[in-house]
Structure 1
Amino acid sequence: MELRQFKYFVAIVDCGSLSRAAQQLFVAQSALSKQMAELEGELGTPLLLRSRNGVTVTEAGKVFYEYAQGITKQVGDAKAAVHVAADSVVGSVVAALPQSVSPMIALPLMRAAARRYPDVVFHLNEELTGNMADQLLRGRVDVAIFSPTMPAEDIAFTPLVEEDFVFLESPQDPRALPPGDVSIEEATARPLVWPANAHGHCTRWLVDAVLEAAGQPPARVAAEINSVYTLKAAVEAGLGATIMPLGLAQREVREDRLRAHRIDSPAMFRTLGLCVSVHLPTTNAKRAICNLIGDVIRDLCTSGQWEGTRLAAPAGKARKEVRASVPRPPSPLQPRR
C-alpha cells in the first residue's frame, strides 16, 4: 500500500464521490478509480460500493477509513516536524473532549490556545466516549480528556481533576425528593435517564461500579440518550432523573430548572485527566497543548468556575491531602436535610 492510496481513500469518503474527490485532489477520476481498485485488490475486500449517486462505504471500508485518517495525519505531522526548529511550537494538534466535559472547558481552552500558541493549528472534537479510545489509538486524536478506563498498556493517563456526581431531577416532577443529600438507594430507587452503555465510560460505567461495590444492582434504565443536551432536557421535562457531574448541569441548577442532590457516598466521583497514546511521538505542539489543558483545568477548578471539582491527587499523594489544599467553591446544592 502507498501513502497516496490512504490519502485518496480518505478524500473519497469525505467527498462522497469519486468525481468530487478527483477535483479536490487534482487527479484524473480514472487514475483515482484505478488506485482504489488496486487497494481493494491488495486488501482482498471491497471498501467502496459505487453507484450513480456516489459511493457508499462498506463495513470493511469504515474500519479502514479510521486507520487511513490516522496514518495520513501522522505522516503530515512528521513532515511538519522535520521542517521546523527543535524548540519551535508549531504544527497541528487534535484534542478530543467527551460531551460530559466539553461544556465546561471547550471555550476556555480554545481561547487559551489561540492566545498562547498562535502558530499551532488546534482542533477540538466533542465526541461520544465510546469513539474516543479508538480514535486515540489509531492516531486520529493526539490527546483526550477521559477517565482512567482506557488500556494502560496503550494509553498514558495523567490525573487532573476529581468531579463529584449528583442526583439530578426536575423540581416539577411529582416524584421529586425534598432538598438535601440522598443515599445511593434513594438515587437509584426509580429508573434513570442514561447515556447508552457503549458511551457511558465517563459517567454510567463509574456509577454502576460504585453500585456494585456497595452491593447494589445496576441502576434501572428509563431511557438511553446519547446527547448530554437532550438528556438534560429530558430530565428537566420530568421524563426521569439522572446521575451526572454537577458541573455539567450547573447553569440549569442555578436557574432552578434542575434540582441537584449530593449523593451520600464518598466514592461517587470521577477522575478526569490527560490521555495520550504511548505508541505515538510527542511533538513540541502536542506537549504544549497538554500542558495548556492542565493549566486551564486547574484554573477552572480552583477559581470555582467548574463547580463540584477539586484537583486530583498527584502520583504518590493521598487524595485527602489534595482535598485539604484546594478550597471548595460555593455550591448551588440545597442544604443538608
Structure 2
Amino acid sequence: MDSRQLRYFAAIFEEGALARAADRERVAVSALSRHLSNLEAELGTPLFERLPRGVRPTASGARLYEHARAILRSMQAASADIRDNANEVAGEISVGFAHSAVKAIGVPLVQRVSQAYPKLRLHLSEIFSGSTAQQLASSEVDLTLTYNQSPDSRFRFQPILEEELVLVGRPDVMGGTDAISFEALLELPLIILRQGLNTRAVMDDPSLLRRIEENAQFQINSIAAIGGSLLSGIGCLIGTEFILKEHIDAGTLVTRPIVRPKLSRALYIGELSDRPATFALEAVRQLCIELTVEAVEARQWKATLSG
C-alpha cells in the first residue's frame, strides 16, 4: 500500500464513481481500476460494491477511508511544513472549539491569523466536548479547545482556565438571585446542553452529572434553542455567565451562585500526542493561548487562568 493508492482510493470513496474520481485525479479509468484491484487484493477484501451507476463502500472500505484521510492529511501537513519555514508560516490548520471558546476568541483568532500569517489557511468549527477524541483521532481537527477532558495517551491536553458554574434563567423561574444549593436546584425545571455522549462539558463529577441528567426535563443540543427556552421561562440552565452573557448584561436573564458544592469546569487545549508539531500548528496553538489569557485578564471572560 502506498500514498498514491490511498489517494486514488479516497478519490473513489468521495466521488462515488470511478469516472469522476479519474477526472479528479487526471488518470485513466483503467489505471484507477487497476490500482483499486491491487489494493483490494493486498488487503484481501472488497472495498466497494460495484453498482450500475458508481460504487458504494463496503464496511472495510469505510474503515479504510478513516485511516486514509488521516494519513493523507498528515502527509500534506508534513509537505507544507518542510517547504515552509518558521519565518513564513503556511499550510492548513483546523481548530475545533467549544461554544464558549469560539464565542470568546474565534473572531480575534481569525483577525490575528489574517494579520500575522496571510499564507495560513485556518478552519474553525464548533464541536461538542463529547466528540473531541473522535475528531482529533480521525484528523478532522488538528487542535481543540474543549472542556473536562479525560486522560488519554493518544492526546496531549493542557488546562488553560477554569470557570465557575452558575444557574441561569429568569428570576421568577429560579426563585430569586441568591445562592442556591445543589440539592435545591434539582427541584427546579432544568435544561441541559447534552454534549456528545454525555454532559461532561458541564462538569467533571460523574455522580453529580448523573443526578443532573436524571432530573433535567429537557436536553437540547442548541445554544440558540436553550436561550429561547430560558427567555420563555420554560426552565433554567446550569452553565457559565459567559455562555449567555448578552442576555445577562441586558437583564433579561439573571444568575444564581451554586453552593454546597460549588461547581466548575476546566477548558483544555488538545492535540494528538504522536503527531509532530508543524510551524503552523505551533503558531495557532500559541495564538489560542494568548487570546484566552488576554480575554480573561481583560475580564471579557469570567474565569481563572490555570497554572
Q: Secondary structure at the match of 2:255?
A: strand
Distance 1:20 1:230, change over 3 A: farther
Which is worse superposed, 158-167 or 48-57? 48-57
Q: Distance in 2 between matches of 1:217 and 1:78?
A: 45
Instruction: Report the Cα offset of residue 23 of structure 1.
Output: 2.7
Q: Distance in 2 between matches of 1:272 and 1:244?
A: 13
- Matching of residue 20 in structure 1 with residue 20 in structure 2: yes
- Which position in structure 1 is the counterpart of 2:137? 137
- Matching of residue 230 in structure 1 with residue 225 in structure 2: yes
Q: Secondary structure at the match of 2:95?
A: strand
8 Å CA contact retained: 2:194, 2:221: yes
Q: Percent identity?
A: 28
- Matching of residue 221 in structure 1 with residue 216 in structure 2: yes
Paired residue for 1:211, among 201, 205, 208?
A: 208
Which is worse superposed, 297-306 or 219-228? 219-228
Q: Deviations over 1:118-162 (max 9, x none)?
A: 222222222222332122234442211123524342222222111
8 Å CA contact retained: 1:236, 1:258: yes
Distance 1:21 1:305, change over 3 A: farther
Instruction: Report the Cα offset of residue 291 of structure 1.
Output: 0.8
- TM-score, normalised by the number of residues in structure 1: 0.78
Q: Deviations over 1:147-194 (max 9, x none)?
A: 3524342222222111122212245xx643212222112222245323
Specify the code of the residue in structure 1 equivalent to 2:268. G
Which is worse superposed, 41-50 or 100-109? 41-50
Q: Distance in 2 between matches of 1:129 and 1:114?
A: 27
Structure 1: gaps of 5 or more residues: 315-337
Q: Distance in 2 between matches of 1:271 and 1:151?
A: 13
Paired residue for 1:299, among 279, 284, 294?
A: 294
Paired residue for 1:186, among 184, 187, 192?
A: 184
Instruction: Report the Cα offset of residue 196 of structure 1.
Output: 3.5
- Matching of residue 119 in structure 1 with residue 113 in structure 2: no
Q: Distance in 1 between matches of 2:194 and 2:63?
A: 22
- Which position in structure 2 is the counterpart of 1:254? 249
Q: Deviations over 1:202-225 (max 9, x none)?
A: 524x2653727xx96754232332
- Which position in structure 1 is the counterpart of 2:239? 244
- Which position in structure 2 is the counterpart of 1:84? 84
Q: Distance in 2 between matches of 1:81 and 1:284?
A: 7
Instruction: Report the Cα offset of residue 30 of structure 1.
Output: 4.3
8 Å CA contact retained: 2:148, 2:201: no
Q: Distance in 1 between matches of 2:73 and 2:101?
A: 25
Paired residue for 2:259, among 255, 261, 264?
A: 264
Q: How many residue pairs were aligned?
A: 307
Which is worse superposed, 245-254 or 144-153? 144-153
Instruction: Report the Cα offset of residue 310 of structure 1.
Output: 2.0
Q: Distance in 2 between matches of 1:237 and 1:198?
A: 26
Structure 2: gaps of 5 or more residues: none
Distance 1:16 1:188, change over 3 A: farther
Aligned-pair Cα RMSD in Å:
3.0
Q: Distance in 1 between matches of 2:51 and 2:254?
A: 52
Q: Distance in 2 between matches of 1:280 and 1:28?
A: 35
- Which position in structure 2 is the counterpart of 1:5? 5
